[in-house]
Amino acid sequence: MPQQRPPFGVLLANLGTPQAPTASAVRRYLAEFLWDKRVVDAPRPLWWLILNGIILRTRPGRVAKAYASVWTDEGSPLMSISRQQQQALSSALKAEFGCDIPVALAMTYGEPSMEQAGRELRQAGVENMLVLPLYPQYSASTTAAVFDRLAKGLKACPHLPQMRFVNEYHLHPQYIKALADSVREYRAEHGSGDKLLMSFHGIPERYERQGDPYPSQCRATAVAVAAELGLADDQWLCSFQSRFGREEWVKPYTDATLEEWGKAGVKRVDVISPAFSADCLETLEELDVENREHFQHHGGGDYHYIPCLNVRADHIALMTALVKDHTQGW
């Protein structure tokens, strides 16, 4: 234990990633991810048969090829960028508070695990812990899954820290401005598209009917960004991507929207994905590659993907503000 305890520590949390772009590593990752009832709430016996009898036999190879196309020397983009965010936030907090504030990174699925991050913070002498899931919009399938996984890891801990949890920040002024500035800066360098598509990861419509606020928060984020950019109603749209399975997901769908715009002869579309705090498979491969091909295959013109906020200075400043706001009195 350090002689002087820090006033608090921060646990950054994100979804997770396979350890390697191989079928076996992807299979292990998907087995954990897709078995979480927060992600897929189908009856367990039936879902076990589908997951183990079909999905984990057929999907890992295809997904591994997609991961291989975006993998870097530092590993998966999500892991590499998350580590950079961890380091940048640590430096920013030291400048803000005048002392070392431990920042640990944990993934809901895979590694580093919640237990690993918890041990790291405990060894740093942390008694007060702020949990910051890097999901601007709350969803039971993401933010609540972080809470569940953390609670599971803490069951074996005899000494629980004081904890606070950031549920969402979908309308935080610094978040909205950072998104808008990322679009402004990109367009200043590359020109402007006829349309701005704000594509969020989707969830089943049934989840929204059951009370999950995620889709409404995504729409609110999109409206706020459009207002910050001064866009007219016909210059932007909020859509949802990455649907899985046969049931209806929240609409409009990103791929269907791009197909419609392509057929209508839209000459250029700019795309951002505000729900992701770091570029990952769903942005770099699905949005930037698959959906580009889909749009242009149906007659669309230029397609520009604008990167996530990643380690932009204004994104790290937003994280710093969230930490400062939620650690008052510590």
Evaluate whether residue 107 is within a structural domain. Answer: no
> Could you tell me which residues come within 8 angstroms of residue 185 by beta carbon, excluding any fewer than 6 positions away?
none
pLDDT, tens digit, 9 for 90 and up, residues 94-140: 999 999 999 999 999 999 999 999 999 999 999 999 999 999 999 99
- % of the chain at pLDDT higher than 90: 97
Evaluate whether residue 167 is within a structural domain. Answer: no
Of 124, 131, 167, nearest to 11 by C-alpha is 131
> Both 179 and 293 in a single domain?
yes
Domain total in the chain? 2
Find out whether 62 and 258 touch, Cβ atoms under 8 Å. no
In the chain, the N- to C-terminal Cα span, in Å, equals 19
Chain centroid, CA 327 distance in Å: 23
Evaluate whether residue 261 is within a structural domain. Answer: yes
**pLDDT tier at 3 (50, 70, 90 boundaries)?**
low
Evaluate whether residue 230 is within a structural domain. Answer: yes
CATH code of the domain containing 184: 3.40.50.1400
pLDDT of residue 19: 97
Evaluate whether residue 263 is within a structural domain. Answer: yes
Mean pLDDT score, 186-197: 98
Average pLDDT over the chain, rounded to an integer: 97
| φ, ψ at 36 (rounded to 5°) | -65, 125
pLDDT of residue 4: 86
> Both 66 and 189 in a single domain?
no
Find out whether 9 and 124 touch, Cβ atoms under 8 Å. yes
Mean pLDDT score, 184-213: 98
Range of the domain at 207: 173-305
Q: Evaluate if residue 2 carries a pLDDT over 60.
A: no
pLDDT of residue 314: 98
Q: Is 201 one of the annotated binding-site residues?
A: yes
pLDDT, tens digit, 9 for 90 and up, residues 208-264: 999 999 999 999 999 999 999 999 999 999 999 999 888 999 999 999 999 999 999
Orientation angle between helical segments 214-229 and 173-190, nearest 10 degrees: 50
Chain centroid, CA 93 distance in Å: 22
Q: Are strands 195-201 and 162-165 parallel, antiparallel or unpaired?
A: unpaired
pLDDT of residue 1: 55
pLDDT, tens digit, 9 for 90 and up, residues 128-177: 999 999 999 999 999 999 999 999 999 989 989 999 999 999 999 999 99
Q: Is 326 one of the annotated binding-site residues?
A: no
Evaluate whether residue 246 is within a structural domain. Answer: yes
pLDDT, tens digit, 9 for 90 and up, residues 270-302: 999 999 999 999 999 999 999 999 999 999 999
Task: Please identify, among 48, 70, 92, the residue that sits at the C-terminal boundary of a domain.
Answer: 70
pLDDT of residue 227: 98
| φ, ψ at 6 (rounded to 5°) | -70, 155
Evaluate whether residue 199 is within a structural domain. Answer: yes
